[in-house]
Chain A
Amino acid sequence: MTVLTNTTAVIVTYNRSAKLMKVLDALERQSLSLDTILIVDNASTDDTQDRVEAYAKDMPVIRYLRLPENVGGAGGFHEGIKAAYMQGAHYIWVSDDDAYPEPDALQKLQEAIIEFEDSYQWRPSFACSRVEWTDGSLCEMNTPHPVWDWARFVRPGKAWALVDSCSFVSVLIPRWAVKEHGLPIADYFIWFDDAEYTRRLSRSYPGIFCPESRVTHDTPDNRGVNFGLVNDKSLWKFKYGARNETSFRRREQGFPGVVAYIYSVHQQMKKGRIPWKLRWKIFRSILRGMAFRPKIQNV
């Protein structure tokens, strides 16, 4: 357990300057002040840089990391967490550029992780917020995955369920976990980078879900990650997802895990009556994923 609490927020952004400004407003209002806010800009072509620079004039804790090209969310989080770690952060609070935390979101996460350690002598490998959609309902795509004994430490008033994966929308990662498990896989580019990373962190000990820490995720619609929802517009993202999860399953569960994954994807697409034209493309991505073995980079 550490008494040092130097905290860096890592926000990855791409061409959403208006939403990013709302995120910065929300970070400025945090009841627990941040030591650093690192904006990782995936080479935005809009006015992101100018607006961040202007904002930083009144907010000295902002640092701006502009990447030379768009390396996707995965690449952005990889670079951001690496930079935060190298700068000496003890806690790294990771989030998207369209997620607006409540003023006490960070404080609740940090208190939970510290109190959990103190009470149970286990160190959670991360703590994640309850992510809500704009209407206050649960944001489907950001639902954390519980472990089998998720309720072991759930107490009235402290409903900290144990989870083994969550999304990169308001997740607080302690320094030791990054040191022990390395960085998110930048080669994933987009999708499943967060699930893979938090599952990797969970090898030490699961993370905790802190429902009292709340974040609003300002997405266009509230849809989960289900292959029954693939369409022409979203195909590119699902292809990354299929490739990345296949690669993860092959690494962690071997061939049986991949077969089980193919079956579940097939079932989802069948239920969703996805045209075969799209289904074949997803299966081809799964095939690519079997040979895709990106390296995990340590700090």
Chain B
Amino acid sequence: MRTTSTLFGPIPPQSIDRLQLETSRIIDIYRLLFPSQRLNFFFYEGDNPIWGEPSIIEGEVTLAPEHLSAEFLGRVECQGAHDAAPVITIMVSVPRAPFPSEMKLQDSDWNPFKPLKALYGITPLFYEEIRYKVEMARKRRARRVHAHTSLPLGKGTSLLPQPQDPNSGKRPAILIGTHWLEVGGAEKLAIDSVRWALEAGLRVFVVAGVASLQRLATMLPDSPDVIFIRLDRYLPDHLWPRFVEQLVLTENIRLLHIHHCRVLYDALPQIRAKTPWVKVIDSTHIIEYADGGYPRISGVWSNYIDIHHVISRELVNYYRDHFQILNKVTLGRMLEGKDMRMSLPPMTMQTAQKTLYVSFIGRLYYQKRPIVLVEILRALASWAQKSNVDLRGTIVGEGPFLSAMKQLMRRYRIDDKFIMKPADCDIPELLSRSDILLVPSNNEGLALVCYEAIEHGCIPISTNVGSQSEVIPTDLLLPLSPRAAVHTSVEIIDKLWRNKDFLAYQKDALHAAWARLAADPTAKDVLMTHYRAAAGTSQE
């Protein structure tokens, strides 16, 4: 490698280290992608903390003044396999380090859709109802607008030579592709998968499909066997398939596990054509109303995928009903470490009790319907006043709806009854002293917090979405319509409070549902089988 740039001036050592680290990461990515070519890097200083804006030219480039702009850092040349090796020119910015505020702040405050702002001001619930109706209209259109047919996969003929596993001799490895490494349910499973793969004896390569600060990257196990490759920053999407192919060949990747990583789905034709021995698993969670979300994408790619791991029965049915797939779908619950023999504590709530404690735990995003939650709390406060019940509660969560919720609670004068806490508060303690957990969600796979609530003697009441009906009895489910959800939640709580038999029946039903779910295989159970097989550490 020959460097033609020189750094001058009083530059802090950490900046120098950072630049060297990032440039070496970039070089590593392109060296793997173009193993024999001569690489001609042009580095620039980026003002974007996330994306390196790479531009790849397969050949020499004629330089113009813009190539030596004020942000130009320098040029690095890497030799090819031989003197006549073709040239690849790579122009890429090194993203700047994020500011502390950027590391902390994820989303700006939510504001109602501008043309309906006045309506929200008058009646937030009606605003929510309109939003819900629009979403349902999109859902009805989804099948017409978005493909629901699996792409055919031509397997070719045995008359022509088949690709052979080159057997690099390296210890088997897995490539785990995430959507991104930011807070979310899918990401939790992705990070768990990394741990399990290590446990199974695999070397682990991790990539993220969406460029971001990847704040959860620090949660990846600190092991020399875990390598996070920053393709999200430095590689254009269209080159991912070729990079993945090279990574498979070089690093002896035996398994590809996709966690909502769109770019890896796009790499599947390359995998199937060039490295067909690689087994492909994907994990999906939630069906989006508007377009089916990742389960639909996964269904479309199904012929390229060996195992669809899903976390709920709703998804098992989705693959069957929309893509005719029966036996490639494996249910594995996100319930690691649950012991089905554990004895559940009695439910806290009693009929006609003088106090009632309700909780909400979740990220304050539209998906969790924070505005509907406030409306439910308002309606409950009114019911409590009439029933002479002292109503209290806690809302746990952070997100763009936080300030809108606070404002609304002040406006309804219920802010003195409910405490708002950040996400890192003691959840088990809160659930243990709560009578009711409210989950007025817009969409779910299966909310684990309901499961945890039962384990701590708290009754969950949830919207009937996703697979919530697997953990919540029918009588405790709310309709999806926001207005109906508000009315029904008060009706349910009133009935639980007044009717001893109803309350007892629901408690039993919740315990039975908990036991049913605990008896199902967990995600770890189903994934470890494949991980161990790939690592050659199966215990059979």
| Chain A residues engaging chain B, CB cutoff 8 angstroms | 3-4, 6, 38, 52-53, 56-57, 59-60, 62-66, 83, 86-88
Contact = CB atoms under 8 A, between A and B. Distances in A.
Interface stretch (B2-10, B322-330, B460-468): B322-330
Interface string B156-199: 11010000000000000000000000000000000000000000
A33 to B, nearest CB: 13
A59 to B, nearest CB: 8
Contacts of A3: 157, 159
B153 interface: yes
Nearest to A40: B324
Contacts of A65: 324
Nearest to B320: A64
Main secondary structure of the interface of B (DSSP, over half): loop
A89 to B, nearest CB: 8
Contacts of B157: 3-4
A88 B324 contact: no
A83 B325 CA distance: 12
A64 B327 CA distance: 10
Contacts of A60: 327-328
A87 B303 contact: yes
9 contacts: A4-B154, A6-B154, A6-B155, A63-B324, A63-B325, A64-B326, A86-B149, A86-B152, A88-B153
Q: Tell which of B155, B321, B324, B328 has the most Cβ of chain A within 10 Å.
A: B324
Nearest to A66: B321
A76 to B, nearest CB: 13
A4 B328 CA distance: 24
Q: Tell which of A4, A53, A87 has the most Cβ of chain B within 10 Å.
A: A87
B327 A62 contact: yes
Main secondary structure of the interface of A (DSSP, over half): mixed
Nearest to A89: B152
A87 B321 CA distance: 16
B62 to A, nearest CB: 44
B141 to A, nearest CB: 16
Nearest to A65: B324
B324 A52 contact: no
A6 B150 CA distance: 16
A88 B327 contact: no
Contact of A87 (B150, B159, B320, B326): B150
A63 B326 contact: yes
B272 to A, nearest CB: 13
Contact of B326 (A56, A86, A88): A56
Contacts of A87: 149-150, 152, 303
A57 B327 contact: yes
B322 to A, nearest CB: 10
Contacts of A56: 326-327
Interface in B8-37: none
A256 B169 CA distance: 77
Nearest to B153: A88
Contacts of B159: 3
Contact of B152 (A62, A64, A66, A88): A88
A15 B321 CA distance: 18
A249 B427 CA distance: 74
Across the A-B interface, the 7 shortest Cβ-Cβ residue pairs: A88-B152, A63-B324, A56-B326, A65-B324, A86-B149, A56-B327, A3-B157
Given A3-B159, A86-B149, A38 B324 contact: yes
A76 B153 CA distance: 24
B325 to A, nearest CB: 6
Contacts of A6: 154-155
A119 B136 CA distance: 58
Interface in B266-312: 303
Nearest to B149: A86
Contacts of A64: 320, 324, 326
Given A3-B159, A4-B154, A4-B157, A62 B149 contact: no
